[in-house]
Amino acid sequence: MRLYNSLSRQVEEVKPVDERTVKMYSCGPTVYRYIHIGNMRSFMLGDLIRRGLRFEGQDVRWIMNITDVGHMTDEVTDTGRDKMELAVDDEGLTPQQIGQKYTDAFLADADLVGIERADLYPRASDHVPEMIEIIQKLLEKGHAYEVDGTVYYDVTTFPQYGKLSGNTLDALRAGHRQDTVADPNKRHPADFALWKKAGPGRLLKWPSPWGDGYPGWHIECSAMSMKHIGERFDIHTGGNDNKFPHHEDEIAQSEGATGQQVVSIWVHGGFLQMGGQKMAKSAQNIRRVTDLRDQGVDPLAYRLLCFATRYRSEMDFNWDALQGANERLTSIRKRMADWSKEPRPEPLSEGAQGFDRRFRDAVADDLDLPQAMVVLNELVSSPAVSGGEKYALLSLWDAVLGLDLMRLAREAWEPSEEINDLVRQRDEARSRKDYAASDAIRRRLIDMGLEVMDTAKGTRVRPSG
């Protein structure tokens, strides 16, 4: 698979540095509010990259952080208060309870739009010691300085600062001239806080060598990525709005502390626009994934809608297009239910293999899902490929698409009493470790034209065609 690397500004082949497992880190949600569907598009990017790589047979380890401290301090309100602390006031819960509530909601929403769970969701608040350790290293190496309990990164000590975003230090200094609220303790206006001194009455604070305080936003991603996937890893994803300052600062921290390149490929997803307006959290038009469901739309139709736009481009959202995607999804699922009853030739015909090659090429080409959907639509209406083959190809491709295309085919099929009996007998045989008996029943089910799967909940069967 090739991906556009925001750092080199080129499309590059993904080659795991350890030659075995692709390691990927995605900037995750801030958890003091619900996640709107615009952000969900950027979280879907990591899921699609992982699915695309697995489709090619690559192993992937994917980490997505949960920001439950730090980021909020950069998003102070007009009254200068931390948003997590405002949520605590509004909802009468502790910061931990707020964090848990919105983490659970995020995961439930992510499930609804077909984002498979990451391998790990580390929480920022669980990694403060690791952050302090990196900050100490940066102080030792002369990349940071402390003023009255707050530690800043000295951007002038990192000559490559700006290499990701193109924001040079000179341009940043010029841009800050009019900044009336400049922090007088900073040596350069682009210097950023690694650690902040806790003010009076602050709830979320930790002891540190510089006194009680709390981490800046960017340091959490340096700490959690390097702890969980190492000081040299393959892919880092985020939204376009993370590129600067968040990822620029992360590079300065991680590379400043380790003295080496840490991330190979930086991938950034485009915004979602609603009626031409960027879906900012402050805007009125925030919609949660569950809002889609309440409007009678399958949240996976939103996923399908996203495939019409290349991930790096901004995407315009409107309800009409979503309704269209919803109808299209249902129509494909209905046809899949019909096709599931047709025989599936082995091997696939030349024509079907041609479609498969084109689909795989599109996915591997910097996740060109608009092109992959062109191939899919051609296949669906192609008179040259049999229904059984269409079913076989689409169920294969759904590993990348995650649209649950087999839903109606699955629901339309009912196992007979005889099959249910055999499944029960097999599970009993397995639970008493009688593997000869369980294998015999498995062979009988296969002879009946079924696919037999071992799941955590026991034997599952479905028609193999």
Where does this chain bind Zn ion (CB under 5 A)?
A: 27, 221
Q: Which residue's CB is nearer to Zn ion, number 114 or number 238?
A: 238
Q: Give the separation between CA 253 and CA 135, rounded to whole angstroms.
A: 8
Alpha helices in 113-216 (DSSP H): 128-140, 169-175
Least distance from C-beta 196 to Zn ion, angstroms?
Answer: 17
Q: How far is the CB of 239 from Zn ion (least distance, A)?
A: 10
Return the HEC string of 304-324: HHHCCCCCCCCEEECHHHHHH
Q: CB-wise, 30 or 326, nearer to Zn ion?
A: 30
Rounded least distance, CB 236 to Zn ion, Å: 8
Residue 9: CA count within 13 A, CB half-sphere: 4
Nearer to Zn ion, 27 or 422 (CB): 27
Give the residue with the Cβ less far from Zn ion, 27 or 429. 27
- CA-based angle 13:15:16, to the nearest 5? 150
Single out the residue of 16, 41, 37, 13 nearest to residue 26, CA to CA.
Answer: 41
CB of 132 to Zn ion, least distance (A): 18
- Strand pairing of 233-239 and 263-269? parallel
Judged by beta carbon, residue 221 or residue 265, the one nearer Zn ion is 221
Smallest distance, Zn ion to C-beta of residue 63, A: 11
Q: Report how far residue 206's alpha carbon sits from residue 128's, in angstroms, rounded to the nearest whole number.
A: 8
How many Cα neighbours within 13 Å face the side chain of 234?
A: 26
- Crossing angle of helices 128-140/217-229, nearest 10°? 100
Q: Which amino acid, 414?
A: E
- Closer residue to Zn ion in complex, CB, 221/336: 221
In whole angstroms, the minimum distance from the beta carbon of 217 to Zn ion comes to 8
Nearer Cβ to Zn ion, position 5 or 30?
30
Q: How far is the CB of 221 from Zn ion (least distance, A)?
A: 3
Residue with Cβ nearer Zn ion (265 or 369): 265
Distances from the Cα of 298 to the Cα of 114, 305, 326, 327, 330, angstroms: 11, 11, 6, 10, 9
The nearer residue to Zn ion, 27 or 301, going by C-beta atoms, is: 27
Q: Which backbone phi and psi does 395 adopt, to 5 degrees?
A: -70, -30
Can you tell me which residue has the tokens 């309800």?
A: 319
Of 407, 359, 406, the closest CA to residue 379 belongs to 359
Give min distance, CB of 65 to Zn ion, in A. Answer: 6
Q: In the bound complex, what is the minimum distance in angstroms from residue 238's beta carbon to Zn ion?
A: 6
Q: Output DSSP code: residue 151.
A: E
Closer residue to Zn ion in complex, CB, 27/53: 27
Find the distance separating the first CA and the last CA of the chain, reported in whole Å: 31
Q: Are strands 2-5 and 10-13 parallel, antiparallel or unpaired?
A: antiparallel
Query: Are the C-beta atoms of 303 and 402 separated by less than 8 Å?
Result: yes
CB 239 within 8 A of CB 271: yes
* Nearer residue to Zn ion within complex by CB, 42 or 438: 42
Q: How far is the CB of 345 from Zn ion (least distance, A)?
A: 48
Type of residue numbered 78? D
SS3 239: strand
**Closest C-alpha to 31, from 104, 91, 114, 82:** 104
CB 461 within 8 A of CB 442: no
Q: For residue 425, what are the contacts with CB-CB under 8 A and spacing of at least 6? A: 437, 441
Q: Taking the complex as a whole, how short is the minimal distance between the CB of residue 365 and Zn ion, in angstroms?
A: 27
